[in-house]
């Protein structure tokens, strides 16, 4: 891709349009929030057009900033700062300081970029053609994918002069640990697996991150392969693809046959609670899972048919219940543990996140999605293809020596 000349302005702070209801208080973060202490960046590219209120492209920045200021009143914790309470727990200090905002200008048109997503960071970049890009950086402690999309889409509605029909449900205390805590499961996601030296050596190589495309034809072939021996009667696309990625990644890394490995699944628990979390719940509603089903040896996983891996994934997902998630919350309350990534792969699906519905008044983005990858090779992220919605892109990191092997395994589908 050609070089892009971007003139970046100085960061400014956009405060809430008025004092918020939680100003001066500490905002509680649940134990599920603590599972994800990382930043997530996404980008949205909008082609030039006149917006619905008659604003021209030159007013993009002011429209977006004013809408952000109003959105921060409703989503008041976003205007605060992370801190620690008197018990050493992380919380949000609702200072009403506001959000960091940066404006930039690029000396090219959007068409010159093509379909390559450019990492713009947390800023608004205007192009010479009148189009613009928004880069948004959020902390996963405050947002999960669903909550983040709710916030961004609400921000867009405000920019278009619309009111929010349903405000966010801000009370995270509904996910408080029980008193006393009741740990009812083993919670294998926190199990420490001893790594054989061969696995540790992989970290000495250059790690290459790449997106692998799975169209509908490949996905149907994987589902057929997962059920052909009858061990699995039927399976979802997510289950088939997760089993294939876990198995093929293990083969590509040449993990020793006697090495124990585990699969961690990030599952949306909103509908699993009894009663379910409010639809507009603001906070992390996802949980990292690894029941005893998703622990295997590398030899078992690679030598057995795909149905073996898919079956493990399926049983784990089917075992997610209100009791299990509440037990997880209580386990974290007692142990303050973090999921162990040794010998592990963690899979998260962003396929249902509505990146392409965001509209600030200039229409929907022609290109949008995640633009940075977690700084570890134990992660795989599933994303809907930006144009073919039933196709899936899988973002993965591999040591250079394993990348070619993994690509060959995909070609065999």
Q: Report DSSP state, residue 57.
A: G
359 labelled catalytic: yes
Q: Are 126 and 104 within 8 A, CB to CB?
A: yes
Q: How many residues does the chain have?
A: 413
What is the 3-state composition of the chain as percent helix, strand, coil, each rounded to the nearest 5?
35, 25, 45
Q: Are 231 and 271 within 8 A, CB to CB?
A: no
257 labelled catalytic: no
Distance CA 301, CA 297 (A): 6
Other beta carbons within 10 Å of 399:
17
Active-site choice (33, 93, 140, 187): 140
170: left (phi over 0), alpha (psi -120 to 50) or beta: alpha
User: Which residues, listed in sequence order, are joined to residue 213 by a DSSP beta bridge?
Assistant: 393
Active-site choice (144, 268, 330, 359): 359
Distance CA 56, CA 87 (A): 51
User: Which residues, listed in sequence order, are joined to residue 184 by a DSSP beta bridge?
Assistant: none
Distance CA 220, CA 287 (A): 28
Nearest partner of 36 among 381, 364, 302, judged by Cα: 381
Label the pairing between strands 39-46 and 81-84: unpaired
Nearest partner of 161 among 326, 360, 352, judged by Cα: 360
Any idea of the CA torsion for 399, 402, 406, 412, to the nearest 10 degrees?
A: 170
| Residue spans of alpha helices (H) in 164-297 | 197-201, 216-227, 237-252
Q: At what angle do helices 237-252 and 400-411 cross, to 10 degrees?
A: 130
343: left (phi over 0), alpha (psi -120 to 50) or beta: left
Residue entry with tokens 């073996």: 308
Catalytic residue positions, numbered = 140, 359
């Amino acid at each position: 891709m050609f070089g892009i000349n971007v003139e970046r302005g100085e960061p400014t702070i956009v405060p809430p349009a008025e004092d918020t209801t939680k100003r001066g208080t500490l905002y509680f973060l649940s134990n599920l929030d603590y599972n994800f202490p990382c930043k997530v960046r996404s980008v949205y590219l909008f082609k030039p057009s006149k917006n619905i209120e008659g604003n021209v492209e030159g007013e993009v920045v002011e429209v977006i900033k004013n809408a952000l200021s109003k959105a921060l009143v409703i989503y008041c914790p976003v205007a605060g700062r992370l801190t620690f309470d008197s018990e050493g727990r992380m919380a949000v200090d609702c200072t009403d300081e506001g959000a960091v905002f940066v404006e930039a200008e690029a000396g090219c048109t959007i068409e010159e970029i093509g379909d390559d997503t450019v990492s713009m960071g947390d800023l608004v970049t205007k192009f010479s053609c009148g189009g613009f890009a928004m880069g948004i950086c959020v902390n996963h402690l405050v947002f999960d994918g669903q909550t983040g999309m709710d916030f961004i889409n609400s921000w867009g509605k405000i920019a278009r002069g619309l009111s929010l029909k349903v405000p966010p449900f801000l009370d995270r205390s509904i996910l408080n640990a029980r008193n006393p805590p009741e740990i009812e499961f083993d919670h294998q996601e926190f199990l420490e697996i001893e790594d054989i030296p061969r696995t540790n050596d992989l970290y000495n190589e250059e790690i290459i991150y790449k997106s692998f495309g799975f169209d509908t034809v490949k996905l149907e072939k994987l589902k057929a392969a997962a059920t052909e021996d009858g061990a699995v009667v039927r399976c979802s696309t997510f289950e088939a693809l997760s089993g294939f990625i876990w198995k093929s990644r293990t083969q590509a890394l040449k993990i020793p046959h006697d090495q124990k490995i585990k699969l961690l699944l990030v599952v949306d628990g909103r509908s699993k609670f009894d009663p379910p979390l409010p639809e507009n719940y603001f906070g992390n509603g996802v949980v990292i899972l690894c029941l005893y089903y998703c622990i295997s040896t590398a030899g078992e996983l690679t030598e057995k048919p795909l149905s073996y891996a898919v079956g493990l994934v399926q049983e784990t997902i089917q075992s997610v219940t209100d009791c299990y998630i509440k037990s997880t919350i209580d386990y974290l309350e007692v142990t303050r543990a973090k999921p162990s990534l040794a010998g592990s792969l963690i899979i998260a699906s962003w396929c249902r996140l509505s990146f392409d519905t965001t509209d600030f008044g200039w229409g929907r983005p022609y290109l949008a999605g995640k633009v940075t990858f977690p700084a570890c090779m134990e992660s795989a992220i599933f994303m809907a293809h930006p144009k073919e919605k039933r196709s899936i892109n899988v973002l993965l990191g591999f040591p250079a020596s394993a990348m070619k092997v993994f690509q060959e395994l995909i070609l065999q589908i």
